[in-house]
Amino acid sequence: MPSSSGAADALVSALSEALGADAVLAGGDLSAYEVDWRRRYRGRARAVVRPGDTQAVATALRLCAAHGAAVVPQGGNTGLVGGGVPDGSGREVVLSLARMNRIRQVDVDNATMEVEAGCVLQAVQQAAEARGLLFPLSLAAEGSCTIGGNLATNAGGTQVLRYGSARDLCLGLEVVLADGRIWSGLTGLRKDNTGYDLRQLFIGSEGTLGIITAATLRLHPLPRARLTAWATMDSAAAALALFRRARQQLGPGLTAFELMNGFSLQLTARHFPELARGLPGMADGHPPAWSVLLELSDTEDETQAAARLEALLGQALEAGCIADALVATSLSQARAMWHVREAIPLAQSQEGLNIKHDIALPISAIPDFIARTDLAIQRVAPGARMVDFGHVGDGNLHYNVQAPEGADAATFLSNHEAAINEVVYEAVTALGGSISAEHGIGLLKRDELVLRKPALALEMMHALKRALDPAGCLNPGRVLRPQASPH
Ligand code: FAD
Ligand code: ZN
C-alpha cells in the first residue's frame, strides 16, 4: 500500500514533477478540500492536484491510474450529497478543477459559449450577459459552484421550468477518461444523431465516469422584462390550481414557481426578521398556510408583461384560488422576495440539525403526497416540524423535517431519521417519484438507490462504470456501491 505521507509518496512526487510543485498540495492544511458544505462528510486527502489545463488533467489521471490511486474530482465543493470530498483513508487524491476557469469563446450567432469546467457559474452568467445573452442556470450557490460541478450533478435550480436542468443547457463536452485519454466532444450543434449521445452519460455521473474539463453551453435571448410576484393561499391544492392557471396564461413566460409552507416562512421570519416583513401575511410573523413566488420573464416590454401578471393574479383572487397577492414594483422588492425564498435553507440550519429530502413527483400528486406524508411522519415522529418548499413547477419538493420545538435535534435525528426516510421514500416510490430530483446521489443516497432503482437499471449503470473505469479509480463508492474494489 502506498504511503500517504506527502514527500515520501511516490505518486505525489511524480505528480509534482509532471505538473509543477505549485499544482500539487500535500502535507499541509487541506481541510477546505476535505469537508463538504453541510459538514456531514469529513475525510483526508492523499494530495490535492490543481491542474491548469486539460493536458495536465490527463497527465494526472495517467499517473493516478499507474499507481492505482482513487481520484475524487472537485469543483466549488458546494454539493449536498457528499460526492466531492475524499474518504477518511488518506489514500484518495482530490482533483480540483478550480484553476481551469477560462471562458474559451462565445459564439453570439450560434448562441453558444465554450468554457472550462472550473468556471464559477456566476462568471458564466455574467459573460453571457455581457454579450447580450442569457445562461439561465441559477441557484443559491452560484457565486461558488462551478460549471463542471453543475454538469456532473445535473444541477437544477430556479429556472428549470422554462429552460431545463444543466443537462438541457449543454451541447458538448470535453472529458478526460480514467486512463488519461481525452474525449473531445465540444460541439455547438443542436442536432447530431451520430449514434449514442455520449455527453449525456457524463452529465449527472457525479465524477464516476470521467472528468469534465470543458463544455459548450447553450445560451438564450436575454429577457426584456422580468417580474416577480408573491401570492398566498390556504392549501397546496390551491397552489396547484394557481400553477395550472399560470402555465396556461403565461405560457413559456412562466420562469419560476416556488412553493413555501407556513412553517418554512415562520423559520425565516424567526432567524432573519428583517427579510420577510413586507410580504403578504408576514407582518405579524405568522405566515399563511402556503405562499408562492412566481416569476414571469419575457421578451415583450415590461408594461405588457405586468398587465398579464396582474390579470392572472386578479382572476385567481376572484376565483378564490388565492387569498392575497403582491407584484414587486421595483428590482429591490423582487430581490427581497427571492431573498426570503433563498433564506429558507439557511434558516433551517440556524434552527438546528434537520433531515433533507430532495424529491421529485408528478406535479399533480404533490398536494396528496404532502397531506398523507405529513400525517404518516407524525405517526413515527410526533411533533416533527415540516419545512416544505421547492421548485413545485418542476415537481421538485425540498420536503424537510425539523425536530419538535425545544427537542434536542441530534437525539431526534438518531432516533427518528431512518423511520422518517422510510416513510418519505416509500410514499415517493408509490407515486412513481424520484428520491433525488436535483442534488444527486453521492454517498448520502447511495444505499437508498440500491433499494429504489430497478435491478436492471443498476446492472446497466454498473456495466457503464466497468466499461469506462474498469479499475474503479474515479470517485469510487459514490453513486454506486463498489462491486469489487481494487483499492
Ligand atoms: P462539487 O460540490 O465540487 O462536486 C459535486 C459533484 O460533482 C461531486 O461528486 C464531484 O466529484 C463532481 N464533480 C465536480 N466537478 C467535476 C468535474 N469537473 N468533472 C467530473 N465530476 C465533477 N443544486 C441544485 O441542483 N439546485 C439548487 O437550487 C441548489 N441550490 C444550492 C444552494 C446552496 C446554498 C448549496 C450549497 C448547494 C446547492 N445545490 C443546488 C447543490 C448543487 O449540486 C451544487 O451547488 C453544484 O451543482 C455543485 O457544483 P460544485 O462545483 O460545487 O461541485
Ligand atoms: Zn432546490
Do 6-96 and 225-346 share a fold? Answer: no
| The pLDDT of residue 17 is above 80 | yes
Q: Which of 61, 120, 153, 209 to probe ligand 1 with, by most ligand atoms within 8 A of CB?
A: 153
Residue 38 amino acid letter: R
Percent of residues, the chain, with pLDDT higher than 70: 98
CA of 407 to the centre of ligand 1 (A): 32
The per-residue DSSP string of 136-198 comes to --B-TTTTT-BHHHHHHTT--BSSHHHH--GGGGEEEEEEE-TTS-EEEE----S---SSS-H
CATH architecture label of 225-346: 2-Layer Sandwich (3.30)
Residue 6: the pLDDT is 42
Which ligand does the CA of 439 lie closest to? 1
Instruction: Give residue 472's region: left, alpha or beta (phi > 0; psi -120 to 50).
Output: left
Residue whose CA is closest, atom 49 of ligand 1? 149
CATH 3.30.70.2740 fits 352-430, yes or no: yes
Q: What residues are in contact with ligand 1 under a 6 Å CB criterion?
A: 37, 72-80, 83-84, 97, 117, 139-141, 145-146, 148-150, 152-153, 155-157, 206-207, 211-212, 438-439, 442, 475, 478
Local confidence band at 301 (pLDDT 50, 70, 90 cut-offs): confident
- Residues shown for the chain: 487
Between the CA of 151 and the centroid of ligand 1 the distance, in Å, is: 8
pLDDT bracket for residue 484 (50, 70, 90) = low
Specify the pLDDT at position 486: 45
What's the chain's average pLDDT? Answer: 94
Look at 286 and 206; give whichever has higher pLDDT: 206
What are phi and psi for residue 451, nearest 5 degrees? -80, -30
State mean pLDDT over 9-36.
96
The best mutation among 48, 50, 78, 213 to test binding of ligand 1, ranked by most ligand atoms within 8 Å of the C-beta, falls on: 78
When pLDDT is cut at 50, 70 and 90, the band that residue 132 belongs to is: very high
Separation of alpha carbons 65 and 210, rounded Å: 13
Confidence of residue 40 (pLDDT cuts 50, 70, 90): confident
Listed in sequence order, the residues at least 6 apart from 379 whose beta carbon sits closer than 8 Å to its beta carbon are none
Whole-number pLDDT of residue 74: 98
The CATH-assigned architecture of domain 103-221 is 2-Layer Sandwich (3.30)
Which residue has 415540516 as its cell numbers? 386
Q: Rounded distance, CA 14 to CA 28, Å? A: 18
Q: How far apart are CA 213 and CA 211, in angstroms?
A: 6
Q: Residue 298 above 90 pLDDT?
A: no
User: Taking 90 as the threshold, does the pLDDT of residue 286 lie above it?
Assistant: no
- 3-class DSSP string for 41-93: CECCEEEEECCCCHHHHHHHHHHHHHCCCCEEEECCCCCCCCCCCCCCCCCEE
More confident residue, 282 or 28: 28
> pLDDT grade, residue 380 (50/70/90)?
very high
Q: Given a cut of 50, is residue 267 above it in pLDDT? A: yes
Q: Using one digit for the tens of pLDDT, what is the confidence trace for 425-460?
A: 999 999 999 999 999 999 999 999 999 999 999 999
Q: From the CA of 343, how far away is ligand 1's center (Å)?
A: 19
* Residue 2 reports pLDDT greater than 50: no
Residue 293 has a pLDDT of: 97
Q: DSSP 3-state helix, strand, coil percentages of the chain (rounded to 5)?
A: 40, 20, 40
Determine contact, residues 96/48, Cβ cutoff 8 Å.
yes
pLDDT category, 276, cuts 50, 70, 90? confident
Atom from ligand 1 closest to the CA of residue 38: 36
What are the distances in angstroms from CA 100 to CA 50, 76, 128, 418? 9, 12, 18, 40
Residue nearest to atom 14 of ligand 1 (CA): 149
Which of 377-387 are b and which e, b meaning 16 or more Cβ less than 10 Å from the residue's Cβ? beeebeebbbb
Position 92 scores a pLDDT of 98
So what's the pLDDT on residue 439? 97
Question: Angle 331-351/262-271 helices, nearest 10 degrees?
Answer: 90
Q: Is the pLDDT of residue 485 over 80?
A: no
Q: How confident is the model at residue 36 (pLDDT cuts 50, 70, 90)?
A: very high
Q: Give the tens place of pLDDT for each residue, 169-207.
A: 999 999 999 999 999 999 999 999 999 999 999 999 999
Cell of 357: 429530502
How far CA 172 is from CA of 57, 162, 188, 198, in Å, comes to 18, 21, 6, 9
Q: Which of 94, 92, 150, 165 is nearest to 120 (CA)?
A: 150
Strands 182-185 and 254-261: unpaired
Q: How many angstroms separate the alpha carbon of residue 141 from the centre of ligand 1?
A: 8
Relative to beta strand 170-176, strand 182-185 is: antiparallel
Q: What is the mean predicted confidence (pLDDT) over 92-114?
A: 98
Hey, whose CA ends up nearest to atom 36 of ligand 1? 78
Specify the CATH number for 6-96; select among 1.10.3720.10, 3.30.43.10, 3.30.420.40, 3.40.50.300: 3.30.43.10
pLDDT tops 70 at residue 303: yes
**pLDDT tens string 204-226:** 999 999 999 999 999 999 999 99
The band of 290, judged by pLDDT with boundaries at 50, 70 and 90, is: very high
- Above 70 in pLDDT, residue 399? yes
Question: How is the chain split into domains, by residue range?
Answer: 6-96, 103-221, 225-346, 352-430
